[in-house]
């Protein structure tokens, strides 16, 4: 029987608990969300018929602060998936040392088959249904799979109708014009580049001359490649869902992006060799960034990875068995909950600005993100050397220790 995301989250927690000898009572509390709400949202469709959609909001742990996490629109959303994602958000916020807990939401729908009007009515209906458990001091949703600043604007407006006044801090990832933060759109890739710089120092990689391969050329992949290039790295491989390209002399990220926008893909880029996504992962390079889908590096191809450093731009691109193989090979894997935490960290900055009603210039956001990501990496690296475990487990150790300390101080256990 295939393991669910919730099974995986439990296995990770169990392993971490064993290593740090976690209090069994704390362990038991952390296994479950504090609250999971299931709602049914009636929506008037364009054909005049009402269709009822199922939605969820899972709130895992708020020992460090209000719940935080995105809302995804996808036909395969399940309650167990949302529960697992809320647990992972608890760890991601804790690794980044931001005063927020883990939450996650989802709506079972196929947004690609819906009109703009249907999507807006569904978004507003969902937020109206969960309005009593969200708020700037309770739970702060954000964009996720198939959601964007557009949906956050609808969420915000619906919540403000309920309150009767403007409360921009109820969601993050909003358009800048209505309380969003400068630098939020690029934040995940920007944060990853800061972590890459720090990890390279530890491994003795000359970062300004490092060769980099990026799988995935969406938001995270594009900005990761762009900022690594600005640091002086040489981007030698890039790919999207249709395939990849390779040029040992280096690729211009902006030129490849313009080419993709004009042609619909990166393959056949002038001067580059076409490769498959599988071949791309196995290219010899200093730094590999899987920023596409989950389960890309598995036990079948892990021993073919030739990078010295892997940074997970995507969520879950490396399987547990592959993790062990790469660790034995001496390849450092910086896990998703650290490598791509720049997004939630800048969401935290947005929330802080909303509460203050005072907004920071772009340069200040970047400077604060740099400082936060460096601190997070160093904390995880210290646990990595202290416990002699792979970086993923080191990140979980940092997160669980931080959350359980807050729980103990609050007298939860």
Report the catalytic residues.
104
Judge contact between 307 and 334, C-beta under 8 A: no
297 DSSP 8-state letter: B
List the end-to-end C-alpha distance of the chain, in Å, as a whole number.
34
Q: In whole angstroms, how far apart are CA 197 and each of 2, 154, 201, 234, 399?
A: 37, 37, 7, 14, 22
Q: What's the distance, CA 236 to chain centroid?
A: 24
Q: Name the one residue in this structure whose structure tokens are 């976690």.
A: 22
157 DSSP 8-state letter: H
Written as six digits, the tokens of 132 are: 């009593």
- Which has the closest alpha carbon to 336: 302, 277, 380? 380
Beta bridge mates, 158: none
Q: Classify strands 243-246 and 273-275 as parallel, antiparallel or unpaired.
A: antiparallel
75 DSSP 8-state letter: T
- Which has the closest alpha carbon to 142: 111, 179, 110? 179
**Residue 104, SS3 per DSSP:** strand
As a whole number of angstroms, the distance between CA 289 and CA 222 comes to: 11
**Residue 149, SS3 per DSSP:** helix
Where do the DSSP E strands lie in 153-270?
Answer: 211-215, 234-240, 243-246
Question: What stretch of H or E contains 26?
Answer: helix 24-30
Judge contact between 279 and 245, C-beta under 8 A: no
Q: Is the dihedral of CA 258, 259, 265, 266 positive or negative?
A: negative
Judge contact between 222 and 257, C-beta under 8 A: yes
- Which has the closest alpha carbon to 242: 218, 213, 224? 218
How much helix, strand and coil, in percent to the nearest 5, is found in the chain?
A: 50, 20, 30
């Amino acid at each position: 029987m295939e393991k669910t995301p919730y099974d995986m989250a439990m296995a990770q927690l169990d392993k971490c608990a064993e290593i740090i000898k976690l209090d069994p009572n704390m362990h038991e509390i952390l296994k479950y969300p504090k609250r999971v709400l299931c709602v049914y949202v009636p929506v008037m469709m364009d054909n005049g018929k009402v269709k009822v959609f199922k939605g969820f909001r899972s709130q895992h742990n708020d020992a460090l602060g209000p719940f935080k996490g995105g809302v995804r629109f996808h036909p395969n959303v399940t309650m167990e998936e949302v529960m697992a994602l809320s647990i992972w958000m608890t760890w991601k916020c804790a690794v980044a040392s931001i005063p927020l807990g883990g939450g996650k939401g989802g709506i079972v729908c196929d947004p690609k088959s819906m009109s703009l009007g249907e999507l807006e009515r569904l978004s507003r209906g969902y937020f109206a249904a969960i309005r009593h458990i969200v708020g700037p001091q309770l739970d702060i949703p954000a964009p996720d799979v198939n959601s964007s600043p557009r949906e956050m604007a609808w969420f915000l407006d619906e919540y403000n109708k309920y309150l009767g006044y403007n409360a921009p801090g109820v969601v993050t990832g909003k358009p800048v014009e209505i309380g969003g933060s400068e630098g939020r759109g690029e934040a995940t890739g920007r944060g990853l580049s800061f972590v890459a710089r720090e990890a390279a120092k530890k491994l003795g990689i000359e970062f300004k001359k490092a060769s980099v391969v990026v799988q995935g050329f969406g938001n995270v992949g594009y900005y990761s490649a762009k900022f690594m290039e600005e640091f002086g790295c040489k981007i030698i491989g890039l790919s999207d869902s249709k395939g990849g390209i390779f040029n040992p002399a280096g690729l211009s990220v902006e030129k490849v992006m313009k080419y993709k926008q004009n042609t619909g893909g990166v393959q056949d880029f002038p001067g580059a060799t076409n490769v498959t996504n599988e071949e791309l992962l196995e290219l010899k390079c200093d730094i590999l960034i899987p920023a596409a889908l989950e389960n890309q590096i598995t036990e079948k191809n892990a021993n073919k990875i030739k990078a010295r450093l892997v940074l997970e731009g995507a969520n879950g691109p490396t399987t547990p068995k592959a993790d062990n193989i790469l660790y034995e090979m001496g390849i450092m894997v910086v896990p998703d909950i650290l490598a791509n935490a720049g997004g939630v960290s800048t969401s935290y900055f947005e929330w802080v600005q909303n509460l203050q009603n005072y907004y920071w210039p772009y340069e200040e956001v970047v400077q604060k993100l740099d400082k936060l990501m460096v601190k997070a990496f160093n904390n995880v690296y210290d646990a990595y050397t202290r416990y002699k475990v792979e970086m993923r487990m080191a990140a979980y150790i940092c997160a669980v220790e931080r959350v359980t300390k807050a729980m103990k101080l609050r007298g939860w256990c």
